[in-house]
Amino acid sequence: MSILITGSNTGFGKLAALSLAREGKKVIATMRDLSKGDDIREVANEEGLSIEIRQLDVCDPEMVQNCLEDAQEIEAIVNNAGFEIQAAVEQLEDELMWNQLDTNLLGPLRLIRTVLPVWTQRGSGVIVNVSSIAGRSAPPYSGSYAASKHALEALSESLHFEVSHLGIRVCLIEPGRFSTGFFENIIRPDTWEGSQHQERALAFREALLRLDSISDS
């Protein structure tokens, strides 16, 4: 039996894949761009880890179906793939908001929908949804990201009550701020640069960094 993890080329996904493989688990590490899997592939080869790398864009329903054809042989999925849009609410055009929800909410839903028929018949399975502390409290200029994580948490809670009696566990993880490279990939609208929102967001970030330095001292 294997554990499938989305967004495994970096950050929490990569760390989880390597950690689980080092514990003797068979891991399926998925990512949109296979060329970004060289690092995890190299580590797996050096350490003799059981990691299979598959291409998966969680926004592509057909690719999700193909990737999970062997759902019967998968014991758990970790919905980790995601990204953040930094923008004021007034800057959130429909396309931006849709892209945020497509990856962070509909992506996990597509995987869940695909494995559930097989797992309910089998009577076992674990679904791990990686949310964020933003799923509890929405900071400024993270409205779309926080909305996607709030929605993921609601979906997870509802799902728990629907499938727990069938032997399927639903777990929700709410990480805080970690140095994973996540913030380097934040997407911003064209109207962001030089706006008053950018200035206020920078001030807010500096305040957070000061708090981090105090907590670390």
Collapsed DSSP state (helix, strand, coil) of residue 188? coil
How far apart are alpha carbons 91 and 3 in whole angstroms? 38
The residue ranges of DSSP E strands in 80-132, in sequence order, are 125-130
SS3 192: coil
Which residue among the candidates 112, 145, 170, 172 is catalytic per the annotation?
Answer: 145
**DSSP structure class, residue 195:** S
Residue 145 catalytic? yes
Give the catalytic positions in this structure.
145
